[in-house]
Structure 1
């Protein structure tokens, strides 16, 4: 059967037939339906009571193709089931940072969720130079809780393996494998290059051996290291914020993969915002440096806060006799061996995070789905200069990820790259 997105009247009638949703919107009220999707993957609607606009919900419907491309890139609509399962799982672990699911329909492949009407997409806020004082702490908590509680560090072995089996999302993983780790590094027709980007920068992505090896290593990790349930697409367009709250949305790419992928994806977006701030911060004659400093502070505080909370959850679980507390370090009365293992674990996770950060930055510069932080820069030469700095920085993260010893070194590297302003031909 050929797919057709629900019309406004069809969706309104459908929601009135769902008692729980009908009660939220106002029994049989007149509804306003507005399609607000970004056109990449799904159809997204805001539905509100005409008389009482604050009574509203968000509805997502998954077509059987990649909306950005069309029917030439088919997908199964069952992928919505992965998103719903992830929203419910993450919502149970971190309800203060995940929207509530009101209703899901496997037949129509849609989900009805809490609308965050007093929030905005984080990416737009960062482009506008808004400071969110609680953001880093919120994201550190979200990452620590979702990544720890889905892993073998918390779950018993049988439960973890069953969860990983149920979480297989091969269709959308394939999209990530291609769009993040493969296509940007070859002459694929899906790549889109800004007009002034030097050809030497493009050729380097394709032929620089240390970079290509590092990217291949990260792709291997993505495909094979089923460490925990990931969001799978944690960028600043998947976070909604105001001054007091932060919510993570759109986990349609959720699957069991390497922990560093979620952390790296978020850090990559903060760093893209940092480099692009050189343009956005000067549009009105302002000094971009104060906000750039704030963005780098988010990078530091997200990583440090995540690592501290993650380790705290781990120690607490072992100290309270958690089911798997014996699984990695056996008899260890002084806890010296356990602490050494934890330190090595976090060190390896940090290196993974840097590698995934680099991959995510590169794909947003040359790949199919870009970011408004960069694409909204109208000056072609200025945009290309920023893109080159992003590519140089990302390459360094990938190639030197084992040598960089702390997040402060990453920030120093970003600052030095920003100040260099040199195009490496």
Structure 2
């Protein structure tokens, strides 16, 4: 049957037929329906009581194609089932940072979920220079809980393997493998280059052996290191915030993969916001430096707080279970050495994935608005070059960047060179 997105009257009738949702909306005589999706993958609607707008839900429907491209790029609509499963799993682990799912329909590939009416997309807030005082604490908590409790460090091995088989997401993983790890390093027709991005910068991506090898290593890790259940696309457009709360949305790319991929995605987007602030800050108040400092503080604090919380969960679990991942180790010297090595590798992989994510957003088809919407082509290209320089260093030198503060200093140095 040919897919057709539900129109307003069809959606109204559908929601009225779900008692739990109808009750949430206050049993309205009329619903206001607004389509609010970004147009990349799915159709997303706000459905609100026409007489009491605060009574509202989000409806998300998955078409059998990549909406950004159209029917020439088919996708299985079962990805909605995976997203629902991921939201429910993450919600059980970190309910304060994951929206509730009220209803799911596998026939219409549709779900109804909590609307975060007093929140906004983090990317928008960062572009406007808004400080979110609890952001680093909230995101580090979300990352620590979701990444630890889905891993072999916590789960019984048999349960973990069963969970992995239920979360296979080959189709959307294939998109990531192509659009993040492969096409940006080729002259691929899906790439989109800004008007004044220097050709030398593009040739460097394609012809630098150390960079190509590093990207291939991260692609291999993405495809083969099934460490935990990931969000899979954790950029600042998938996070909703206000001054007091943070929610992570849209885990349709969820699968079992390397822990560092989610962390790297968050840090990459904060670094993109940092470099783009040079334009937006001067446009808004002429002084980008203070907000840039706050953005780098988030990079540092998210990693540091995540590492502390993750290791605390690990210690507490081993204390309760009276076991150690490495086996019997009475004085814990070997276990502690393993944990230190584990966290160092996790940081290196985080930086490698961050580098790939940054490059993808500069030369790939899916941009970040804070850079893509800069109207001055020369200023935009200069920012893009700094992003690519930072990304290359993160990728190629990830093993030698053993402290998150080295990343902060790298970003500052690149920005400082531009300011001179």
Same-fold status (TM-score > 0.5): yes
User: TM-score scaled by structure 1?
Assistant: 0.98
In 2, the alpha carbon distance for the partners of 1:22 and 1:331 equals: 55
Instruction: After TM superposition, give the deviation of residue 321 of structure 1 in Å.
Output: 1.1
5 Å matches for 1:73-222? 73-222=73-222
In 1, the alpha carbon distance for the partners of 2:12 and 2:224 equals: 43
Q: 1:365 aligns with which of 362, 367, 372?
A: 362
In 1, the alpha carbon distance for the partners of 2:406 and 2:27 equals: 57
In 1, the alpha carbon distance for the partners of 2:309 and 2:29 equals: 45
5 Å matches for 1:310-349? 310-321=310-321, 325-326=323-324, 328-349=325-346
SS in structure 2 at match of 1:55? strand
Match of 1:420 in 2: 417
5 Å matches for 1:256-405? 256-321=256-321, 325-326=323-324, 328-405=325-402
Instruction: After TM superposition, give the deviation of residue 64 of structure 1 in Å.
Output: 0.1
Unpaired segments ≥5 residues, structure 2: none
Deviations 1:42-79 (A, max 9, x none): 00000000001100000000000000000000001011
Instruction: After TM superposition, give the deviation of residue 284 of structure 1 in Å.
Output: 3.2
The alignment of Structure 1 onto Structure 2 pairs a total of residues equal to 420
Match of 2:14 in 1: 14
SS in structure 2 at match of 1:2? coil
Match of 2:407 in 1: 410
In 1, the alpha carbon distance for the partners of 2:21 and 2:328 equals: 53
In 1, the alpha carbon distance for the partners of 2:19 and 2:337 equals: 54
Q: Is the 8 A contact 2:28 2:50 kept in 1?
A: no
Deviations 1:78-132 (A, max 9, x none): 1100100000000000000000000000000001000000000000000000000
Instruction: After TM superposition, give the deviation of residue 420 of structure 1 in Å.
Output: 1.4
Instruction: After TM superposition, give the deviation of residue 28 of structure 1 in Å.
Output: 4.6
Runs of 4+ in 1 over 6 A off after TM superposition: none
Instruction: After TM superposition, give the deviation of residue 345 of structure 1 in Å.
Output: 0.3
5 Å matches for 1:6-85? 6-85=6-85
In 2, the alpha carbon distance for the partners of 1:181 and 1:90 equals: 26
Unpaired segments ≥5 residues, structure 1: none
Q: Is the 8 A contact 2:28 2:51 kept in 1?
A: no
In 1, the alpha carbon distance for the partners of 2:266 and 2:402 equals: 19
Instruction: After TM superposition, give the deviation of residue 334 of structure 1 in Å.
Output: 1.5
Deviations 1:180-215 (A, max 9, x none): 001111011110000000000011111110000000
Instruction: After TM superposition, give the deviation of residue 285 of structure 1 in Å.
Output: 4.1
In 2, the alpha carbon distance for the partners of 1:219 and 1:161 equals: 22
User: TM-score scaled by structure 2?
Assistant: 0.99
Match of 2:248 in 1: 248
In 1, the alpha carbon distance for the partners of 2:369 and 2:397 equals: 28
In 1, the alpha carbon distance for the partners of 2:335 and 2:41 equals: 43
